Structure 1
């Protein structure tokens, strides 16, 4: 079977990892076509086929495919062109989401509904966004554990321990619900620890992915994100590299990880941003502790998160498109209460933290702006 993945951006390298794992470990022949390989500027990722410079190769891959695997929500008219879907013919389509639908819909409820109820079979990563796609099949974000850049390496010993943190942007912890790693607040905490001589901070921004991995390999510990209750591909990378990884996973994310992997214990050091300082101080002051936790991180990834095993979720999905199409589009929430537990319960907890973490004058300004725009204020 041949599968071609199409994405507007590199999607932080996730589709590339999936394609590589399919080619390494299965009988699926996979390619990945990216419309805008430079979408993140100098934060670049390895790309299989660049639509803009390798158009003929991209079209040949699409023509040869049995399955078209789309990533994220995008308009063909603005990317690959409105004529491309006509080229798909009767090929099977499947779409995978890596972000919450509000990233595209904003406050457009009609668009949000169209995204979530799209009749094309859906996949969603087993991370924070999963709860917003009740008709999607949950799949893992893959990392190549045995690539030498993902293997453990000794931490640098020429100064205070290095802490790595890779914010995807500058959004505040309390300004956005999901598309944030809380960069301003997290960096303020880590810089305070650095000023006290407890660590050296390596905030990785606008850096090619290959260089990012090599920088992280020699860190003492990594901060994923301690704000939303989610984890990220960067956290999985650091776990694979045998690092202690500090991050906050809410109960829904933890449940999805356990269901996906079969693990009971999870390797993240689960701590909210507002509680993180004493945990970081303890880790920074105890190399033996860091070593033991880092070794456990790598063991967990080898035991529960080996791509050779997890890639079967994708292979099975492709065959089910032909053999069991009715297995897609089945609602995963059986009641109103199930949906409330998955979404609203955790939103309420985040909103309570937001109110504590946001100065009163900022709350007032946000309320005024929301009223002017006609957007309801969170209560």
Structure 2
């Protein structure tokens, strides 16, 4: 099966992660290429199948003809005024895969289906913030995490002081995020978490911590692997990819999971409990103190994180989410 991924940004490397995952566990070989808007450091060691959209439309047309499926992540890298580019994918089997904030996703969908009159074969949405708040018909899928990857396996180490990791995709404060026209989903609680690290790490010295940014993806996972605690964020009410990676690695993972997110996940996954240690934006200093008060139980909590992922995020379950859609097309 030939799959052409299209995106404007690198969307956390999902074209590479998804292709590798399907070829590792699936029965049908996936041959994939990916066209994105502009070059950047991919942070992945294997990026030979990434093609930059640099204005060579003949290459893009050749790939579109080659593809059995066009898998669009949020929006294709076409210029709005270039009708020929938009027309080129009409008649193909097209998946639109939502990763961003609901307002942005709704705009992507309207632009593709209304402004350019393109028929979609399927719409996918990751089982996170947007799955709850995006009011469009969609098939919910797990974010791709391979819990059997050696870098996502647990390494249980009892440090003298708990080691805490945090890996924000941006280091902007909330006001900066809002000025860019983004919402809570894009904010990674950077201001609050740095206050927490300053209080417990620098002033009281009861934890060690690592803030990991700008590293290659594999190195990023290695640096987090021997930690006891990983912090996602506690502003949006949901969770991100780093949560799932941390749970797979057997960390106590902190996120601000709100009741609406819990209700959705319990129903979608058919689980009874969730593995996150929940912290709130207005009481994070006190909430973290509560966790430190149970540090003798950290190892037990860490193992519970891994067990939960093995039950509800196994390769078999993730594979079923995506092959069910691909095979129909």
| Residues 1:36 and 1:212: Cα distance change in structure 2 (over 3 Å) | farther
- The residue number in structure 2 matching 1:18 is 18
Q: Contact 2:33–2:51 at 8 Å: present in 1 too?
A: no
Q: Distance in 1 between matches of 2:191 and 2:6?
A: 33
- 1:8 Cα offset (Å): 2.4
- The residue number in structure 2 matching 1:247 is 255
- 1:64 alignment partner, one of 49, 52, 66: 66
- 1:27 Cα offset (Å): 3.2
Q: Distance in 2 between matches of 1:116 and 1:272?
A: 37
2:201 is aligned with 1:161: no
- The residue number in structure 2 matching 1:309 is 317
Q: Contact 1:36–1:51 at 8 Å: present in 2 too?
A: no
How do residues 1-379 of structure 1 correspond to structure 2 at under 5 angstroms?
1-28=1-28, 29-35=30-36, 38-39=39-40, 41=41, 44-46=43-45, 47=47, 49-52=49-52, 62-77=64-79, 83-88=84-89, 90-103=91-104, 111=107, 114=110, 119-120=119-120, 121-130=122-131, 131-155=133-157, 157=159, 160-173=161-174, 175=178, 176-195=183-202, 196-284=204-292, 286-321=294-329
| Residues 1:3 and 1:205: Cα distance change in structure 2 (over 3 Å) | same
Q: Contact 2:9–2:38 at 8 Å: present in 1 too?
A: yes
- Segments of 5+ residues of structure 2 without an aligned counterpart are none
Give 3-state SS (helix, strand or coil) of 1:184's partner: helix
Give 3-state SS (helix, strand or coil) of 2:79's partner: helix
Give a deviation string over 1:160-181, Cα, whole Å, max 9, x none: 3221111121333575322111
| Residues 1:280 and 1:210: Cα distance change in structure 2 (over 3 Å) | same
- Segments of 5+ residues of structure 1 without an aligned counterpart are 106-110, 322-379
Q: Distance in 2 between matches of 1:20 and 1:317?
A: 17
Give a deviation string over 1:206-253, Cα, whole Å, max 9, x none: 222111100110112011111110100001000000000011112232
Aligned residues: 312
Q: Contact 1:155–1:220 at 8 Å: present in 2 too?
A: yes
Q: Contact 1:128–1:231 at 8 Å: present in 2 too?
A: yes
Q: Contact 1:101–1:112 at 8 Å: present in 2 too?
A: no
Give 3-state SS (helix, strand or coil) of 1:288's partner: helix
